[in-house]
Chain A
Amino acid sequence: MSTIALPVPRELGARLVRAEILKLRTRRGLMIASLLLTVGATVATFSILAVLHATDPAHHKLIGGLPHYDDGMYSLTQLSTIAAILIGATAGAGDLAAGFFRNLVVTGRPRWALFAARIPGGLAVLLPMTALAYALTAGLSQVVPGSEGTPSVALMIEAGLWFELYIAVMFLLALGFASLLGSRATTLGILAGLQLLVTPLVQGLHDPGVGAESILGIALWKLAPRELANGAPAGQLGMSLAAEVSVIVVWMVLALGLGCWRTMTRDA
């Protein structure tokens, strides 16, 4: 049986990526918090819905179906974003905070490679977790759906891919900022504020203005499947697909570019 050899640059190296995974995976607090924010939050949300339905079926619908899928996706996206920012900020600033970055630099390995290894390393920890949380949300929406129907397979696949893209982008944003700022706490504060306060606030405006289009969270929500109404910007934002993609690309280039530049130039 033949295998396909992926063209991984020699400098990046699978061992360096595995080391990044090890550094994240062994942080017990980070892993517990991230699991609670993703899988735990999904289980908790649907458990509460089940209890509410059991105690007052007249006012609370069955746990499955499209409306609960829509609500579940919104809360899952918001909470998983925090997990993505946590993991991204830790991947970006963890070595520096521990004083370990210096040890890595004196091996002679190019600094860009040290930075680049954080990307697949962090995503390898984060995405399986969020995929599991999404699978739970999608799966539970199929159970006892009630009268309002269930999300179609096509919607679930499309929404799942969009959700993983959203989370990956948020991780990369946090990774870039943390590498730039060298501080996990500052990155957490800034990005959590941007995502949990600024973005929902602008999303709720009926006349958000042109500047709103440049907000990363809004551009990402504009890419979401139409059926995910809960979370989509309320006002009229006439962004084309090209504009949405451009906003995301610009944010990524800025965050990762600045993070890589700082990693390469920082006094270790």
Chain B
Amino acid sequence: MKTEGLGKRFGDEAVVSDVDLRVPRGTAFGYLGPNGAGKTTLIRMLLGLLRPTSGTMELLGLPVPKRRRQALSRVGAIVDEPRFHGHLTGRQNLWALAAAREPEAHGRIEGALARVGLRERADDRVSAYSMGMRQRLGIAACLIADPELLILDEPMNGLDPAGMLEFRELLHSLVEEGRTVVLSSHLLDEVEKTCDAIAIVDRGRIVAQGPIDELRAGGAPILRIECSDPRRAGVLLRNRAGVAAVGEEDGMLRLELAADDPRAETANIAHLLLDAGFQLYRLQPDEDSLEERFLEITSRLGEAA
């Protein structure tokens, strides 16, 4: 999946601006951003539900909307939230959707229902389904296309923790089969656990893009210290060259290190505190979570704006 300079305006408001996105085949890719960042609008444009104001798009290497039909025949998608005819059963809804796809799609219905664990409830009306069951039916609707690419918009909404775990395993199995999964979400934790690479979007623009490990490593190293009198220890360390920022969190010191060698700086700080008569209970180097990086990037943009 690839976009270049993709944009969408509603009147004077630019909801999506100049989005260049590259999603490699066979990966789980997270499109991560806060609510209102333009994630759903981008997905709607990719799927031909909304016309872009500018830019170009490709799905499975095919230009859209020019070869939209061919591209979408191997794409399964859930947009916003999965919605179905409430008066039809789960199986009937899939049947009606399969009718719009190639004839083989009907033969995939039973397999798709089994895979998402809905076989037992497939003959119940969808109006009686929980949100989690609708999400699963949405995935089943994607699977009847035997998709090379799945585009899922906030698929974890409405799932309980067990459902989320199950869902994550399902997505991993889809990627293992060589399919590409694009997951749009505001749930950082879920994206971090599910995806190999991400794009962070804010106010309609992509502000960072790449493998999760690389993005996570882009932040300053963090050192947490549990010691006697953390406030006085903070004052002592505040003006040190190798320390960029000092804070306190849950009774512990939280240092953002600016040194070239964080390990050596950690040892130096330990010596300094012991020499100054502090009791040291714990020194904990802490990798930035994706959440911290995300907040760092988006808040920096917020300040710039």
A-side residues, CB < 8 A to B, are 13, 15-16, 18-19, 22-23, 26-28, 94-95, 98-100, 102-110, 114, 267-268
Contact = CB atoms under 8 A, between A and B. Distances in A.
Nearest to B48: A105
Nearest to B144: A107
B92 A99 contact: no
A102 B73 CA distance: 15
A103 B84 contact: yes
Contacts, number: 82
B1 to A, nearest CB: 14
Contacts of B141: 103
A102 B83 contact: yes
Given A13-B99, A103-B141, A110 B69 contact: yes
B92 A105 contact: no
Contacts of B106: 15
B101 interface: yes
Question: Chain A interface secondary structure, helix, strand, loop or mixed?
Answer: helix
Interface string B67-111: 011111101010110011111100011011111110100100000
Given A22-B95, A94-B85, A109-B101, 9 more contacts: A15-B98, A19-B95, A22-B92, A26-B88, A98-B83, A107-B101, A108-B71, A108-B75, A267-B44
Interface residues of B, number: 34
Contacts of A22: 88, 92, 95-96
B272 interface: no
A237 B158 CA distance: 62
Contacts of A26: 87-88, 92
A18 B84 contact: no
Q: Which 6 residue pairs of A and B lie closest in terms of their CB atoms, listed nearest first?
A: A99-B83, A108-B72, A19-B99, A15-B99, A19-B96, A108-B69
A99 B97 CA distance: 13
Interface string B35-58: 000000000100111100000000
Nearest to B70: A108
A100 B70 CA distance: 21
